[in-house]
């Protein structure tokens, strides 16, 4: 049986640049990634923003960080901007999930590397959300650790679940009596 691999040439829509409301929906541990300064642990933070694509799905924007809370690290500085105060060290970054901020998005074109000439929308800064601003993580959002990719279930065929599809219902867990527990 032949294993055929093709190049993904799909052109993805990008959100508009500017200031948008966003909710931190996922933090994924990418493990150690090789880079110009050696192998470093990396995290990818993903925000659902208050903009929709032509299919009615919320855009998801992400930013990758070296997993460091040194006061000069980018992750430390961004958490400080998000929360309005420096994070304590050590800090459980998953406590940030569900946090709402204004994100400053800017369109940029890569000038070097394999993505040279390709346009991206990057997060440049975080601002405090206005009082009363609310944006929830969509109920059907699937985190990367649970098999999600860009907020929806990973699927090997082309029919991927929409991020705005109704949430799947699951059967309730059976009740277990205390005397059934063996300890």
The pLDDT tens digits of the residues spanning 126-145 come to 999 999 899 999 998 999 88
* Residue 129 included in any domain: yes
Rounded CA-CA distance 26/47 in Å is 7
- Please tell me the total count of domains within the chain: 1
Looking at the domain assignment, is residue 90 inside a domain? yes
Is the residue at 97 inside a domain?
Answer: yes
Please provide the size of the chain in residues.
183
Query: How, if at all, do strands 119-128 and 100-109 pair?
Result: antiparallel
Within-domain flag for 1: no
pLDDT at residue number 175: 58
Q: Are strands 100-109 and 58-66 parallel, antiparallel or unpaired?
A: unpaired
Mean pLDDT of the chain: 84
CA angle 21, 24, 25 (to 5 degrees): 120
pLDDT grade, residue 9 (50/70/90)? low
In a domain, residue 135? The reply is yes
Whether 172 shows a pLDDT value over 90: the answer reads no
Residue 42 within a domain: yes
The model carries a pTM of 0.77
How many of the other CB atoms lie within 10 Å of CB of 47? 27
Residue 7 included in any domain:
no
- Are 112 and 118 spatial neighbours (Cβ–Cβ below 8 Å)? no
Res. 157: pLDDT tops 70: no
CA–CA gap between residue 48 and residue 35 (Å, rounded): 28
Q: What is the DSSP code (8-state) at residue 169? A: P
Residue 140 lies in a domain: yes
**Which alpha helices (DSSP H) does the chain contain, by range?**
74-83
* Domain coverage including residue 142: 18-154
């Amino acid at each position: 049986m032949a294993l055929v691999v093709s190049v993904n040439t799909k052109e993805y829509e990008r959100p508009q640049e500017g200031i948008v409301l966003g909710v931190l929906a996922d933090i994924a541990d990418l493990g150690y990634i090789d880079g110009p300064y050696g192998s470093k642990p990396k995290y990818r933070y993903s925000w659902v923003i208050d903009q929709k694509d032509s299919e009615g799905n919320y855009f998801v924007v992400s930013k990758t960080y070296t997993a460091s809370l040194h006061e000069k690290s980018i992750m430390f500085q961004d958490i400080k901007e998000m929360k309005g105060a420096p994070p304590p060290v050590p800090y459980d970054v998953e406590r940030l999930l569900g946090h709402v901020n204004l994100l400053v998005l800017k369109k940029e074109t890569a000038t070097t590397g394999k993505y040279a000439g390709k346009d991206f929308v990057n997060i440049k800064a975080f601002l405090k959300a206005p009082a009363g601003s609310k944006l929830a993580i969509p109920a059907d959002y699937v985190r990367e650790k649970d098999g999600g990719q860009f907020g929806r279930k990973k699927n090997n065929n082309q029919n991927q679940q929409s991020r705005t599809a109704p949430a799947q219902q699951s059967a309730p867990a059976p009740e277990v009596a205390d005397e059934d527990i063996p300890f």
